[in-house]
Amino acid sequence: MFTKTAQFYDAVYSFKDYPKEAEYVHDAVSHHLKSGGKKLLDVACGTGKHLLEFSRWYDVSGVDLDSEILKLAVDRIPSARLHHGDMRTFELPAKFDVVTCLFSSIAYMGAVEGLNLAIANMARHLEPGGVLVLEPFLYPDAYTDGFLHFLHVDEPDLKLARMSRSKREGHVVLLDFHYLIGDESGVRHLTEHHELSLFPQSEYVSAIEDAGLVVEYDPIGPMGRAMFLGLKPL
């Protein structure tokens, strides 16, 4: 995952408008929330940038599998309850009014069984009347194989270039990110392997329904990749 590059994560994804995305999610949730509380859990919370925004409206908690990333979330928002765990298996004693899983983090689930386990686990942590918010990855027909991607960071004390060429194997996209990083310690190259699953829309819908939630679909979502809401009956 991002263990080797956690310290650069926020610089690499600085194009994301976290305040605007959080407002988009909060607005959608507000139309459906019936549980009466304000506890929010962000699953695969990363460095906590959505959590910081969500703390304007909710008591926030987070879970992530990468302990290096999680340390940055702890620094960003010390008041949040942050847990190390896998989205398929974490078990928290509390239930939440809102559970979010954003920026396509669900694509790390591998086979459809992983998707089903993760969604069922998130649904288990919802209060009756609560809302699950899930931002999917690309659907298979929207993916272009062999896509060459480049981004860079150009800050006074950090120069970074990241390049990858995607490769599809079955329903999984293999990505080897090559980083060239220049900072106070010199210039170095490192690589990082990611595997992201291309689940079709129907598999997300089945997973959410099988977890006992009612699906609402937004084809736009916070960053143009769509958004599923899963409403837990009262």
Ligand X SMILES: C[S@@+](CC[C@H](N)C(=O)[O-])C[C@H]1O[C@@H](n2cnc3c(N)ncnc32)[C@H](O)[C@@H]1O
Interface stretch with ligand X, choices 63-71, 120-128, 169-177, 206-214 (CB under 6 A): 63-71
Distance of closest approach, residue 24 Cβ to ligand X, in angstroms: 13
Q: In terms of DSSP bridges, do strands 158-165 and 167-169 run parallel, antiparallel, or are they unpaired?
A: unpaired
Amino acid at 137: F
Task: Indicate which single residue of 54, 108, 137, 199 sits in contact with ligand X (rule: CB under 6 A).
Answer: 108
Please check whether residue 173 is in contact with residue 187, taking contact to mean a CB–CB distance below 8 angstroms.
Answer: no
Query: Which residue lies nearer to ligand X by CB, 68 or 183?
Result: 68
Task: Indicate which single residue of 25, 46, 116, 119 sits in contact with ligand X (rule: CB under 6 A).
Answer: 46
Please check whether residue 101 is in contact with residue 133, taking contact to mean a CB–CB distance below 8 angstroms.
Answer: yes
Distance, in Å, from the CA atom of 153 to the CA atom of 169, rounded to the nearest integer, reads 30
Interface stretch with ligand X, choices 44-52, 136-144, 165-173, 203-211 (CB under 6 A): 44-52
Task: Indicate which single residue of 103, 137, 179, 199 sits in contact with ligand X (rule: CB under 6 A).
Answer: 103
Please check whether residue 195 is in contact with residue 166, taking contact to mean a CB–CB distance below 8 angstroms.
Answer: no
Task: Indicate which single residue of 25, 39, 64, 204 sits in contact with ligand X (rule: CB under 6 A).
Answer: 64
Strands annotated E in the chain: 39-43, 59-64, 81-84, 96-101, 126-134, 148-155, 158-165, 167-169, 172-183, 186-197, 214-218, 227-231
Distance of closest approach, residue 105 Cβ to ligand X, in angstroms: 4
50 is an interface residue for ligand X by CB under 6 A: yes
- For 16, 25, 106, 117, 211, the CA distances from 204, given in Å and listed in that order, are 24, 18, 10, 12, 11
Interface stretch with ligand X, choices 25-33, 38-46, 136-144, 169-177 (CB under 6 A): 38-46
Q: Which residues contact 31 (CB under 8 A, 6 or more apart)?
A: none
Task: Indicate which single residue of 77, 99, 102, 231 sits in contact with ligand X (rule: CB under 6 A).
Answer: 102
Interface stretch with ligand X, choices 58-66, 152-160, 170-178, 202-210 (CB under 6 A): 58-66
66 is an interface residue for ligand X by CB under 6 A: yes
Type and span of the H or E element at 94 = none
Residues engaged in binding ligand X (CB under 6 A): 1-2, 44-46, 49-50, 64-66, 69, 86-87, 102-103, 105, 108
